[in-house]
Structure 1
Amino acid sequence: MKRALGYLLLGFLISVLMLTVMNVNEFGEHSIGVGEHYLDEGLEESGATNLVTNIVLDYRGYDTLGEVTVLFTATTGVAALFWREKHGRKEKE
């Protein structure tokens, strides 16, 4: 009984995987028109003169802020580790 249930589950997972792979777009084919919207309407919506800067700062601003926060936190952590190893922890007297 357990073996039959295992085969049934395996067959279901393989079917889902096959359906997913069959519905993937061809390379270069887009199913979402977000990129085209950025190119067509980006400069008019923001008033920026540079389209790349517009996309990074206007449309992807929160994403960029998150990436900068992660980089700052990682850099601060590494610097703290190096500082601690160089100076060591001093005991109170």
Structure 2
Amino acid sequence: MIERKQLKDRTQVTFVLPADDPDGPVSVVGDFNQWNPAAHPLQPQGDGTRTAKVTLPARTSHAFRYLAAGDYWFNDEHADSHDGTNSRIHI
């Protein structure tokens, strides 16, 4: 799931996954963090989910994917669109 919170000229995007699916650590990686898995690891929350927050400029579009343990890459089914390989979010 992807949540958005509108700020003045930016949008705070929260990437949300279940706490245990998939197992192990997961990061959101994309063109907004130079595809760096260490930049935005998802953190456990009290409600049984794990999340990572990213603030992005207004009127932009970004490619992203999730990277889980074991070099397991996957897309977000709730993304705004997909470009073949990546999920996309439109701000």
TM-score class, shorter:
under 0.3
Q: Which has the larger radius of gyration?
A: 1
- Structure with the bigger RCO (C-alpha within 8 Å, sep 6+) is 2
For normalisation by structure 1, the TM-score amounts to 0.20
TM-score (norm 2): 0.21
Q: Which has the higher helix share?
A: 1
